[in-house]
Structure 1
């Protein structure tokens, strides 16, 4: 795997993130990347593979709310170089796994079924109840030799049934069918524990900051 904060892997991941969300592809912004998100509480995101002068200068220039700065660094490293106008967001963790994943769940829990759809190089896999209620959902985007897993979610009343593990392995099958075994994602604190149990490893801390609006 490339060194932590590799510029190329961050670019691949961000391109996949944008495709998954049907957003414009990232454009280069000095040594980082810019995505026009266009949401009320996330207008733009700038992503950097490391803390550098470009990141620090941009943090000084921006005063508008709901523009996110994101970087492969720890929260402590970020707070040392930005002003107090910026508010830390919940921590993220870039993670990687060279398949196969561990702790295989080969059978879906009784009473559930799988469905899928495709768009923008993205495959969505959804686990529903027999009545059609969504229980778990996730996406995989294939970018060159990298499989990016995105927005993995299990609804609270369907947890602890192995659905998330089963879903991840269904997504992995899609990557392997295309000869791709390099897997990458950004996890929340909660999700990190699941992925570690399946053999994923930490690639880099991923810290987000924003100036909140009123």
Structure 2
């Protein structure tokens, strides 16, 4: 499958994970209404890597006039940013779209001193790790949509990093997605997250450039 297929997988699952409106198909990609003051909606270019066209990025960016619209382009930041024009503020740095094949796996071992909590609601499976006092340690969620599942909101408290908690969260989410019929996963991540996901077999599909319109 192509990078464009992985982009569609990601936005379908992301919309479910965040409770956003279903993606609207555009000639250049997709629009998703999020409904937040700082993120009214987001435009996502459907192409990836060398298939991203400058004309499409300039057209989408140039048509935005209201604050709170975000733009996601799966291409190198150095290429994309000069195409955005006035009013756009890039954020994040060297983010990525990644994917992995899902397969049956034994439940991960939870490190001593931590408790694993799992639940599902509205098609989204969630994982929470707390320490022995009940304090937040790590979390994540996954939204399976058909054969693909979007992993989202992965977070580890700074006080609990480098203890293998991120791996426990990811393996638990991947198992939950597979149990619901998903055979592959997708996610977007920061450079720091990429190291964890690569260690678990995830592969890069494309770089991700993020920007928001500030007017």
Q: Which residue of 2 aligns with 1:34?
A: 31
Which runs of at least 4 in structure 1 moved beyond 4 Å after TM superposition?
none
**Cα shift readout 1:129-187 (whole Å, capped 9, x = no counterpart):** 23322211100111111121111111110111101101111111112323433111111
Paired with 1:178 and 1:124, the residues of 2 have a C-alpha distance of 13
**Cα shift readout 1:66-110 (whole Å, capped 9, x = no counterpart):** 2111111111121232214322111320001124599x9932111
Paired with 1:147 and 1:35, the residues of 2 have a C-alpha distance of 18
**Cα shift readout 1:30-55 (whole Å, capped 9, x = no counterpart):** 32111111212111101012333343
Paired with 1:170 and 1:106, the residues of 2 have a C-alpha distance of 7
Unaligned runs of 5+ in 1: none
Does the 8 Å contact 2:104/2:175 carry over to 1? no
Indicate which of 164, 182, 195 corresponds to 1:193.
195
Cα deviation for residue 3 of structure 1 reads 2.4
- Using the size of structure 2 for normalisation, the TM-score is 0.88
Indicate which of 75, 96, 118 corresponds to 2:99.
96
Number of aligned residue pairs? 209
Aligned-residue Cα RMSD (Å) equals 2.1
For 1:33-182, what aligned pairs fall within 5 Å after superposition?
Answer: 33-50=30-47, 51-52=52-53, 53-91=55-93, 92-99=95-102, 106-182=108-184
Paired with 2:177 and 2:33, the residues of 1 have a C-alpha distance of 28
- Using the size of structure 1 for normalisation, the TM-score is 0.89
Q: Matched residue of 1:79: which SS?
A: helix
Deviates more, 1:29-38 or 1:118-127: 29-38
Paired with 1:199 and 1:158, the residues of 2 have a C-alpha distance of 23
Cα deviation for residue 12 of structure 1 reads 2.5
Does the 8 Å contact 1:107/1:166 carry over to 2? yes
Q: Matched residue of 2:83: which SS?
A: coil
Within the alignment, does 1:3 sit opposite 2:2 as a pair?
yes
Does the 8 Å contact 2:9/2:149 carry over to 1? no
